[in-house]
Amino acid sequence: MAEYQAMPNQLMNYKSKSWWLESLPETIVSNPGLTPRQTADVVIIGGGYTGLSTGWHLKQMKPGTDVRVIESDVCGYGASGRNGGFSMTLFGLTKGITKFRFSDEKAKSAHQYMEAAVDYLHDFITANNIDCDYERSGYLLVGTSPGQIKRVEHDFKIMERWGMGGVERWGKGRLSDEFRTDFYKLGWFEPRCGIINPAKLARGMKNFAESKGVIIYERSPVVGFSRNREGGFTVRTEIGDIRSEYLVFATNAYSVLFPELKSIQRPAFTHIVMTEPLSGEQMESIGWGCRAGIEDARDLIHYYRLTKDNRIVMGGGDVSLGYGTNLNKDLNEKIFTLLEDHLIEVFPQLKGIRFTHKWGGPISVTLDMAPVIGFLGSDHKCIFSMGCVGHGVSMTTTNGRTIAEMIAGRQTPRTDMFFVGRKTISWPPELISYGVSQAIRGFMKIEDRLYCK
Ligand SMILES: Cc1cc2nc3c(=O)[nH]c(=O)nc-3n(C[C@H](O)[C@H](O)[C@H](O)COP(=O)(O)OP(=O)(O)OC[C@H]3O[C@@H](n4cnc5c(N)ncnc54)[C@H](O)[C@@H]3O)c2cc1C
C-alpha cells in the first residue's frame, strides 16, 4: 500500500487573509470536521472554486453519488477568497506562450474553452442568485508604452486571425472618453468578462454545493492519503479518515504539500493593495465610467478594478516565489509599496488617498505556465487540477464541471480538451526550481524595464 504524507499548513484566522474575507456579511461558523471511519463515493480535497464546483456538478449529474469535500480551513480560504475577482478569458499566462508551447489550433481551442467558462460563470451566478457583487463590466487590456502597445496589437491580431468576435479595439480617443489618465495608449476591450467579490462567490458556491447534497468538512487539514489494496483511497486528517472510490485534489498551489504532486506545480504569490472608498469627487476625477477590470500588458502585469463601494483594488506588479511548503508567506512590503506608487502614477489625482488593506495569496504555476487536469495512477480515479496561475476564477469553475463529467463517465468537448491528461514538464528539485523561477522572474523584470515600462 502506497502511503503519502502531507504536512498541513498552520491554521490561520481566515479574516486576516483578504479584505474580501474580512468584509463578508457574516462571520463564518465553520462546518464540523471529518470524523473517523467515513466512506463516500468521491472525496474532494480543497474547498475553493475547483473543489466546490466539482462537488455540485457531480451531484447534478449523478444525484445518488455520495460526494464529500474536505477543506483544511474554511471554504474560500485559499486563492478563491483572495483574488482580484476578474472573470476573464485568459488561459495560462499569455496567448503567445500557449501557442508556442502547444499549437495555434490548441491555443484557439483553449480560448474558446475560456470564453465558454466566463459565460458559464455568469449564467451560474445569475440563474442561482449568487450574491457576489457581480458586474458584467468587461475586461480591458491596456498598452501604456510602445512595448506594451505591440503586445496589445499582437493579441488583437491573434484574435482576428482566429475569427473571434467579442473584442473591441479602443484607441486613444475612446480611452480618454472613459478615463482621466494619459497613461493608456491603446486597449482591447472584452465585454463578456466581469468582476466579482471572490470570497462572496466562494461562500455562495459552498452554500449552493450543500443545497445539492454535497457534504463539506471544514477545519480538517488532510495529512495523508493511501491507495487501498482492494482499490479506492483512504484519506486521513489528524482526527478522521474516509475511504472513497474516487479522489480529487482541488488543492491548487497547496498541492506542494503532497509529495506526489509537488513536481507538477510550484506556488508563487501575487499581491494586492486596496484604497479606501473613493468619494464622488474622486470618482469623477478619474472617469472609469465603464467599470471594466483593467490589466496592463507587461510581463509582470498590474491588474486593477473597482469594488461595489468604489474602492480600487490593485494587484500584480511582481510576484514572490514560494520556497518549501510554507504557504503563509503571503505578505511582501516592497511589492505593496510598488503597487501603491503605481496606482498614483496612473491616477495622480488620487495622490494622498489612503490604502486600507494589503494581502497576498498563492497561485499555482506549472513549468510551462499552462493549466493541467491530470491523473495520479493509470486507473484515472485520482484526478487533480492545477496551474491556472492568476487566471482561475472562471476556469476553475468550469474545470470542476469537466472533472465531474470525467467521474460521471461522460465524454464532452471539455473532457476532450488537450490539457486534460496532458504530460506536464516536472519542476526540478526545490533549490534548482527556486533558481529557475527566480531567473524567469528576473528575465520578466528586465524585459518590462526595457520594453514595457
Ligand atoms: C492574489 C490573487 C489574485 C488573483 N486574481 C485573479 C483574478 O483576478 N482572476 C482570476 O481568474 N484568477 C485570479 N487568481 C487565481 C484564482 O484565484 C485561482 O486560480 C483560483 O481561485 C483557484 O481555485 P482553486 O479552488 O483551484 O484553489 P484554492 O482556492 O486555492 O483552493 C484550494 C483549497 O485547498 C485547501 N487545502 C490546502 N491544503 C489542504 C489540505 N491538506 N487539506 C484540505 N484542504 C486543503 C485550501 O485551504 C484551499 O481552500 C488570483 C489569485 C491570487 C492569489
Q: What's the average model confidence in pLDDT over 321-327?
A: 78
Q: Is the residue at 185 inside a domain?
A: no
CB of 80 closer than 6 A to ligand 1?
Answer: yes
The whole-number pLDDT of residue 1 equals: 35
CA of 359 to the centre of ligand 1 (A): 14
Residue 406 lies in a domain: yes
Q: Which atom of ligand 1 is nearest to the CA of 237?
A: 42
Per-residue pLDDT, 93:
86
Answer for the pair 91, 390: CB distance below 8 angstroms, yes or no: no
Identify which of 40, 116, 79, 2 has the alpha carbon closest to the alpha carbon of residue 272.
Answer: 79
pLDDT digits (tens, 9 = 90+) for 131-187: 999 999 999 999 999 999 998 999 889 988 998 888 999 999 999 999 999 999 999
pLDDT at 9: 59
For residues 373 and 383, the answer to whether their CB atoms sit within 8 Å is yes
DSSP per residue over 38-72, as a string? EEEEEEEE--SHHHHHHHHHHHHH-TT--EEEE-S
In a domain, 43, yes or no: yes
The single-letter code of the amino acid at 308 is K
Residue whose entry in the numeric block shows the C-alpha cell 455520495? 66
- Cβ atoms of residues 363 and 389 within 8 Å: yes
* Ligand 1 contacts CB of residue 295 (under 6 A): no
Q: Closest Cα partner for 106 from 438, 416, 428, 430?
A: 416
pLDDT in tens, 250-262: 999 999 999 999 9
pLDDT at 450 over 80: no
Residue 108 lies in a domain: no
Distance 229 CA to ligand 1 centre (A): 32
Other Cβ atoms within 10 Å of 196 Cβ, number: 28
Cα within 13 Å of Cα(270), Cβ side: 24
DSSP string, 390-420: T--HHHHHHHHHHHHHHHTT---TTTTSTTB
Ligand 1 contacts CB of residue 392 (under 6 A)? yes
- Residue 396, ligand 1, Cβ within 6 A: yes
Question: Per residue in 72-105, pLDDT tens?
Answer: 999 999 999 999 999 999 999 888 889 999 999 9
2, pLDDT greater than 50? no
Q: Which residue type does 44 have?
A: I
Is pLDDT above 70 for 452?
no
What backbone phi and psi angles, to 5 degrees, belong to 199? -70, -35
Q: Which residue type does 14 have?
A: Y
Residue nearest to atom 32 of ligand 1 (CA): 251
Degrees to nearest 5, angle at CA 362 with 319 and 245: 150
* Ligand 1 atom, smallest distance to 250 CA: 26
Question: pTM of the prediction?
Answer: 0.96
* Average pLDDT for the chain: 93
Is residue 445 predicted with pLDDT exceeding 80? no
pLDDT (average), residues 276-291: 98
Q: What is the pLDDT of residue 202?
A: 98
**Is 251 part of any domain?**
yes
For ligand 1, mutation pick of 21, 252, 335 (most atoms within 8 Å of CB): 252
| 208 within domain boundaries | yes
Residue nearest to atom 39 of ligand 1 (CA): 72
CATH number for 71: 3.50.50.60
Say if residues 184 and 175 touch (Cβ distance below 8 Å).
yes
CA dist., res. 7 & res. 91, Å (int): 30
Spatial distance between the Cα atoms of 392 and 235, rounded to a whole number of angstroms: 26
Total domains, the chain: 1
Ligand 1 proximity of 50 Cβ (cutoff 6 Å): yes
Grid coordinates representing 243?
475511504
Pocket test for ligand 1, best of 254, 313, 314 (most atoms within 8 A of CB): 254
3-state SS of 181-236?
A: CCCCCEEEEECCCEECCHHHHHHHHHHHHHHCCCEEECCCCEEEEEECCCCCEEEE
Segments of 221-352 assigned E as strands: 222-227, 233-237, 241-249, 266-275, 293-296, 302-306, 312-321
Residue at 416 is within a domain: yes
Mutation test residue for ligand 1: of 388, 389, 398, 403, the one with most atoms within 8 Å of CB? 388
Find out whether the beta carbon of 18 lies less than 6 Å from any atom of ligand 1: no
CA of 362 to the centre of ligand 1 (A): 7
| Domain assignment of residue 214, given as a range | 3-82+199-266+368-427
In a domain, 139, yes or no: no
Question: 311 C-alpha to center of ligand 1: Å?
Answer: 23
What pLDDT does residue 317 have?
87
Band of the pLDDT at 6, cuts 50, 70, 90?
Answer: low
Residue type for position 17: K
Report how far residue 141's alpha carbon sits from residue 294's, in angstroms, rounded to the nearest whole number.
6
Ligand 1 atom closest to 388 (CA): 19
